[in-house]
């Protein structure tokens, strides 16, 4: 990316000043090295987002930003409905509420070592993964409506997990304002047999060892220590979310034209928040958030069953569950006053700081756990939200390493068996239904997750707490 186009605010903050029809600046949080690695489309997309009606303060991009559909992946933008603000399906993404859940196990590497291969096999065969994967759960019409309205709370009430789990999930496991009747019928049909499945692409289930602590007080508050074994689950709303995104992008393209909104890019199709299309999308999107929360809750239940059979001493309690790819209504201070804004986070995660009332009481003093997934051969991280992040980027942080090359490029560079064998030599067991999928997700296809996390920490978006390294990865 051409750095001459930016004004450098600090070592980790780069600004594109408003020009032409930009409503606000565009700001990217990254080191100079990470900026240099980003493709020029990140610049173009961040600028285009800054042109949308009703945007507040700035168009932001996180340190893991790369090209996406409409918004850059890693993009954050807030809109004020009282100022003509819009909602954009491209600003949420196709995999609505894709996110990460982290589970404590109470185990150490020594506990897992003897059972590692058996555990990898059992998790792979018990938890469906891959393109078009389906599970043992079949939802009829009434169950589908209940799931879309109830989220993880519905899953718990249906026997998938514990009531205590809900306290450690955003929105306490149930997104308010969901309207299942606004979800297209085709989306419901696609999801009918996909509950309790990982899906494909960058989705995964990993058994990880905690290998480094950067803030001992925050780690203690999160119940984390050196040598701990945890499980991370990364997945979203599967076919339902994708269908909602596809359908509403078409509807929003028509709506934008009817409302006189000039789109700098057709992929930024949007609708006024206070329009019929905007309200309908919100109801459907919130239902998709509930779908993703329910899906991760069912996967948690399946993981517990596997551990109960092979390592019955494991505890499998939830540390936290965070979503990216959402639009949520939040109170934020801008220009000295508190305003109710619609915050789009696409490939970015919420990062509320200490004392925020939406956090569970047990975590409130420390701040929100922020879960950053790496690639299957590199580390993942646990961070904590900061008070400073509120003024930086509407309490937002990065969500992963971010791709450094396309899936097509990766599949031409590596072979799946090569990647699996190289990782096995390092003690990391990979299980996947797709050799091509493994090649597309090769560790080298991603940015350096440590550099991304260090940049987020230095920029004040979130504070580093701990590093986790994979032992087992079930890949979609």
Nearest to 28 by CA among 66, 78, 55, 56: 66
Show the tokens assigned to 31.
Answer: 């080191």
**Selected catalytic residue, list 104, 203, 332, 399:** 399
Q: Which residues of 124-144 are buried (b: 16+ CB within 10 A; e: fewer)?
A: bebbbbbeebebebebeeeeb
Nearest to 341 by CA among 157, 114, 85: 85
Distance CA 315, CA 106 (A): 6
DSSP for residue 403:
B
DSSP string over 183-241: S-HHHHHHHTTTTT---STT-EEEEEEEEEES-HHHHHHTT--TTEEEEEEEE--HHHH
Residue 158 gets which letter from DSSP? Answer: T
CB atoms < 10 A from the CB of 413, how many? 14
On whether the CB atoms of residues 98 and 237 are closer than 8 A, the answer is: yes
**Integer Cα distance of 397 and 409 in angstroms:** 27
Cα angle 397, 402, 408; round to 5: 155
- Helix 276-310 to helix 116-126 angle, to the nearest 10 degrees? 140
**Cα gap 45→59, rounded to integer Å:** 9
**C-alpha–C-alpha distance, residues 394 and 66, integer Å:** 20
Whether residue 242 lies in the annotated active site: no
Could you count the other beta carbons within 10 Å of the beta carbon of residue 351? Answer: 30
Question: What's the burial of 250, exposed, middle or buried (CB within 10 Å: 0-12/13-18/19+)?
Answer: exposed
CA dihedral 155, 115, 449, 98 (to 10 degrees): -10
At which residue do the structure tokens 């350096």 appear? Answer: 448
User: Would you please indicate which residues are annotated as catalytic (active-site) residues?
Assistant: 399
């Amino acid at each position: 990316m051409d750095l001459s186009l930016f004004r450098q605010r600090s070592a980790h903050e780069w600004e594109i000043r408003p020009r032409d029809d930009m409503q606000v600046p565009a700001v990217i949080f990254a080191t100079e090295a990470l900026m240099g690695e980003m493709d020029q489309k990140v610049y173009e997309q961040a600028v285009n987002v800054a042109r949308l009606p009703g945007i507040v303060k700035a168009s932001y991009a996180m340190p893991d930003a790369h090209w996406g559909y409409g918004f850059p992946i890693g993009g954050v933008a807030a809109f004020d409905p009282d100022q003509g603000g819009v909602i954009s399906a491209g600003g949420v993404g196709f995999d609505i509420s894709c996110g990460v859940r982290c589970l404590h196990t109470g185990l150490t590497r020594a506990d897992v070592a003897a059972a590692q291969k058996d555990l990898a096999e059992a998790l792979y065969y018990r938890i469906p993964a891959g393109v078009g994967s389906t599970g043992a759960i079949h939802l009829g019409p009434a169950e589908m409506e209940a799931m879309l309205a109830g989220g993880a709370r519905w899953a718990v009430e249906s026997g998938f997990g514990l009531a205590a789990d809900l306290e450690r999930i955003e929105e306490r496991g149930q997104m308010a304002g969901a309207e299942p009747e606004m979800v297209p019928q085709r989306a419901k049909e696609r999801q009918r047999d996909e509950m309790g499945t990982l899906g494909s692409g960058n989705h995964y289930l990993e058994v990880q060892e905690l290998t480094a602590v950067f803030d001992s007080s925050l780690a203690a508050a999160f119940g984390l220590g050196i040598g701990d074994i945890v499980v991370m689950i990364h997945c979203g709303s599967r076919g339902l979310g994708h269908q909602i995104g596809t359908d509403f992008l078409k509807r929003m393209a028509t709506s934008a034209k009817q409302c006189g909104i000039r789109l700098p890019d057709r992929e930024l199709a949007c609708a006024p928040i206070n329009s019929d299309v905007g309200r309908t999308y919100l109801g459907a999107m919130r239902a998709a958030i509930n779908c993703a929360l329910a899906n991760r809750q069912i996967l948690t239940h399946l993981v517990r069953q596997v551990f109960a059979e092979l390592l019955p001493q494991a505890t499998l309690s939830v540390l936290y569950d965070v979503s990216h790819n959402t639009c949520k209504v939040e109170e934020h201070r801008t220009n000295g006053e508190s305003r109710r804004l619609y915050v789009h986070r696409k490939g970015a995660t919420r990062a509320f700081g200490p004392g925020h009332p939406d956090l569970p009481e047990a975590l409130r003093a420390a701040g929100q756990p922020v879960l950053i997934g790496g690639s299957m051969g590199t580390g993942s991280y646990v961070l904590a939200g900061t008070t400073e992040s509120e003024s930086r980027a509407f309490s937002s942080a990065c969500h992963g390493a971010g791709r450094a090359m396309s899936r097509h490029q990766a599949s031409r560079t590596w072979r799946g068996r090569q990647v699996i064998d190289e990782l096995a030599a390092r003690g990391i067991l990979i299980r996947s239904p797709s050799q091509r999928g493994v090649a597309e997700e090769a560790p080298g296809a991603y940015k350096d997750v440590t550099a991304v996390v260090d940049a987020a920490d230095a920029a004040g978006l979130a504070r580093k707490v701990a590093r986790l390294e994979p032992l087992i990865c079930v890949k979609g």
